[in-house]
C-alpha cells in the first residue's frame, strides 16, 4: 500500500491542522509513521489531544478507528474475540460462530486499532499485540490464522504521569512502535481551544470575554506548576470552567467574571482534576482560590498574549 492509497499526504495535514490546534508537528509525525506502515505510541498527559489527533487523521484517511479502552479487565478474549457459547453447542467451532473483538475487526477491515492507556493492559493481553505488530497476523485457537489487511495499524496511547494502576511498558512493545511525545500546548493554543469549544457549546458570552478566558486558562496552566500540586489540570478543566461559569452567570443574573460566580465555577471544574501532594494539608479548593486571586493581578490581560509563556511564572 502506498501513502496515497489512504490519503497520507500533505492535504491531510492541512485539513487536520484546522481541527487539531497547535499540533502540526505531531500530525506530520503520526501521518508519516502511518504512511510508512509503522505502529505508533502517543505518550503524554491527559487532555493533550491524543485522541483528537488520531480521530482527525483516521477520518481524513478514510480508515475506521477501532477504539479499545486499556484496563486490567481487558483479557485476550475481549481484545481478540470469542466463540459464542450458545451457538457452539449447536453449530460447533465454525468461523461464523466466532464473535470478533476489536483487534480482529481492525485486522480484517484494515482499520486503526487505538489502544488507550496501554500501560494499564495486562501482560498476557499485551502479548497478543506484540505478536500482531511483529507478524502482521494472529492465530486464534479453533479459528485459525487471521492475516492483517495491508492498511491495519495500531496506535497506542499512555499517560506517563499517573502511576496508579499502571505498569511499565516492556522493551518488546517499545521496540515495535514509533513514539511521539505530546506535552501541553502553548498558552495561545489553549486559549484558541477554549474559545472554540465554548462557542461550539453555545457559551458565546463567556467565550467573548477575552480577559475572563485568558484568566481561566492561566489559572489552569498554573495548576501544573503549583508546588503543592502533583498533577495539574488539562485544558479540559478550562473548557468546563468557562461553560459552567456561563451557565451559572445566567442562573444568577451576573457576569461570568463576577467573583463568586467565577470562583464557584473554578472550584467545581478544577478541584477534582488536580492531585495534591500527599504531604500537603491544603484542599484543592484552597489552591484553586489562591491561583484565581494570583492571576487577577499578575496575568497580562492585553492583546496578543506575548510569547505564549505563562504570566506570573517564576
C-alpha cell of residue 16: 487536520
The vertex-155 CA angle with 149 and 156, nearest 5°, equals 140
Task: Kindly state the percentage of the chain with pLDDT values over 90.
Answer: 81
**pLDDT tens by residue, 266-313:** 999 999 999 999 999 999 999 999 999 999 865 554 443 334 444 444
Length of the chain: 314
Which is higher by pLDDT, 56 or 165?
56
Reported confidence tier of residue 7, pLDDT bands at 50, 70, 90: confident
Residue 260, Cβ density class (10 Å: 0-12 exposed, 13-18 middle, ≥19 buried): exposed
The mean pLDDT value for 195-224 works out to: 95
* Residue 147 three-state SS: strand
Residue 4's pLDDT is what?
A: 43
- pLDDT for res 2: 42
Amino acid at each position: 500500500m502506498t501513502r496515497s492509497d489512504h490519503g497520507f499526504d500533505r492535504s491531510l495535514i492541512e485539513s487536520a491542522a484546522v481541527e487539531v490546534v497547535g499540533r502540526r508537528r505531531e500530525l506530520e509525525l503520526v501521518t508519516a509513521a502511518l504512511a510508512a506502515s509503522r505502529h505508533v505510541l502517543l505518550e503524554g498527559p491527559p487532555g493533550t489531544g491524543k485522541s483528537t489527533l488520531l480521530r482527525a487523521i483516521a477520518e481524513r484517511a478514510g480508515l475506521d478507528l477501532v477504539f479499545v479502552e486499556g484496563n486490567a479487565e481487558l483479557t485476550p478474549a475481549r481484545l481478540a474475540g470469542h466463540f459464542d457459547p450458545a451457538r457452539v453447542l449447536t453449530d460447533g467451532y465454525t468461523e461464523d460462530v466466532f464473535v470478533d473483538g476489536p483487534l480482529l475487526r481492525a485486522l480484517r477491515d484494515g482499520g486503526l486499532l487505538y489502544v488507550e492507556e496501554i500501560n494499564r493492559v495486562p501482560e498476557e493481553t499485551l502479548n497478543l499485540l506484540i505478536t500482531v505488530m511483529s507478524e502482521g497476523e494472529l492465530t486464534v485457537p479453533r479459528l485459525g490464522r487471521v492475516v492483517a489487511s495491508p492498511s491495519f495499524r495500531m496506535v497506542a496511547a499512555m499517560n506517563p504521569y499517573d502511576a496508579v494502576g499502571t505498569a511499565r511498558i516492556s522493551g518488546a512493545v517499545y521496540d515495535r512502535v514509533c513514539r511521539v511525545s505530546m506535552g501541553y500546548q502553548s498558552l495561545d493554543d489553549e486559549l484558541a481551544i477554549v474559545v472554540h469549544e465554548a462557542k461550539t457549546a453555545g457559551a458565546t458570552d463567556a467565550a467573548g470575554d477575552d480577559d475572563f478566558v485568558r484568566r481561566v486558562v492561566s489559572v489552569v496552566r498554573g495548576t501544573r506548576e503549583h508546588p503543592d500540586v502533583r498533577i495539574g489540570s488539562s485544558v479540559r478543566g478550562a473548557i468546563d470552567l468557562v461553560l459552567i461559569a456561563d451557565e451559572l452567570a445566567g442562573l444568577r443574573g451576573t457576569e461570568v467574571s463576577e467573583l463568586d460566580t467565577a470562583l464557584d465555577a473554578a472550584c467545581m471544574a478544577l478541584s477534582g482534576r488536580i492531585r495534591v501532594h500527599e504531604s500537603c494539608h491544603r484542599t484543592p479548593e484552597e489552591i484553586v482560590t489562591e491561583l484565581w486571586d494570583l492571576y487577577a493581578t499578575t496575568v497580562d490581560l492585553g492583546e496578543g498574549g506575548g510569547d505564549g509563556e505563562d504570566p506570573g511564572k517564576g
